[in-house]
Structure 1
Amino acid sequence: MGDFEGRHALIFAAAPETEYEYIRTFLSAHPDVLIACADGGLRHARALGLHPDFMISDCDSMPEVEGAEIVRLKPEKDDTDTQGCLREVFRRGCREATLVCATGGRVDHMLANLSLLEEARALGGRLTVLDRQNKLVLHEGGLQKFKMPEVYQYFSIVPLDAVLKGVTITNAKYPLQNATVTRAGMVTISNEATAPVFTVSIEQGSAVVVFSRDLTAPL
């Protein structure tokens, strides 16, 4: 457990992925990251020449296992492999994780993976979901400041609760002041920061903050 304590975990899920440059960029900025694979995520780690520190698998989509530590699961279970991987790296001492190869392919798998943003909070940690076009983090309510990453053009606030109350957005092209935002009529999509740091305050409810870029924009 000591090798996990306080480290940032990079978790590979098994969604289809062939563009790895965004992961290489992340690895360059996090040279000491712990490599964790959920079942078929091992294929992506291998494609990048990485040897997992940790792997969890029921061997349904990847018959092979590899890693300094391996946890084998039965295919007949309630949790997904990616959910189990997040829980285990946090249980072993990680408190921050980034999930990659998690948004392509089946929509049910993608939605399950995005739900892990809230699960990470319940486990006492933080999760970022990353792909070549987007970066997603959880807004837990209250006032939060965000530094606008240079590689992204837009940010959106996507409600997790049916209604968000008291939404205030500053330093943005489309500011809000004490607004009510609902899932049925979102007015918080494709905003743009007007300063290096913008703020989002939510008095009631939680949401996902999505940083995004057009595919034509360079990394």
Structure 2
Amino acid sequence: MGRLHTIENRKGKQDAKRAKIFTKYARLIAVAARDGGADPEYNAALKNAIDKAKSENMPNDNIDRAIKKGAGGGEGDNYESIVYEGYGPGGVAMIVETLTDNKNRTAGNVRHYFDKNGGNLGTTGCVSFMFERKGEIIIEKNDSINEDELMEVSLEANAQDFVTEEDCYVIYTDAADFLEVKKALEGKNYEFVSADVKLIPANYTTIDESNEKMMEKLLDSLEDDDDIQNVFHNAK
């Protein structure tokens, strides 16, 4: 009974986390459809949002509903994008991207998460100069992948950089070229661990064990908030 209860408890937490992810992606899709139209072929932001949602196994019904709400002037209307910058524990540079229908609530929550976990919010621009917006595509290493071929496809499609890590390949692109490179790799049937446009730090900050634990708590708090879409940081 004890083990069954543990499994059920874990499954419940996983289901709750998945529901939160779906809520965030529904919001992202609705806003993308509101701003650029309902056809992903002509709306790069919407296509990327749908791809991200599908990678988390978000049901097609949920995706279609979010597109209709956004394009129809419904749910997407009252959300705005607000970016917060600041420092986490140990001086870690952090950027928090949000989609919110109540900026006072979101600002208060974000400030609370930082204050409670050894960080502090800063002014706009205080850390953004440390980051560059790039496409990042991660492909897991396996015996079926020829590294030279993967590199050739990536660079021919206009990738900026190709990095070989211990267990994966990381392909960086200019943000504007991300979808082109991603489409080229998909055309060759490569599967991605992740593929998204991110803020990549120019350098990293090493933090000690006590700050690392606070950093984990801060990231968990931010991740659990429905208003928060992305968190970028330079902790090593």
Structure exhibiting the larger radius of gyration computed from Cα positions: 2
State the TM-score, normalizing by the size of structure 2: 0.25
Structure scoring higher RCO (CA < 8 A, sep ≥ 6) equals 2
State the TM-score, normalizing by the size of structure 1: 0.27
Greater fraction strand:
1
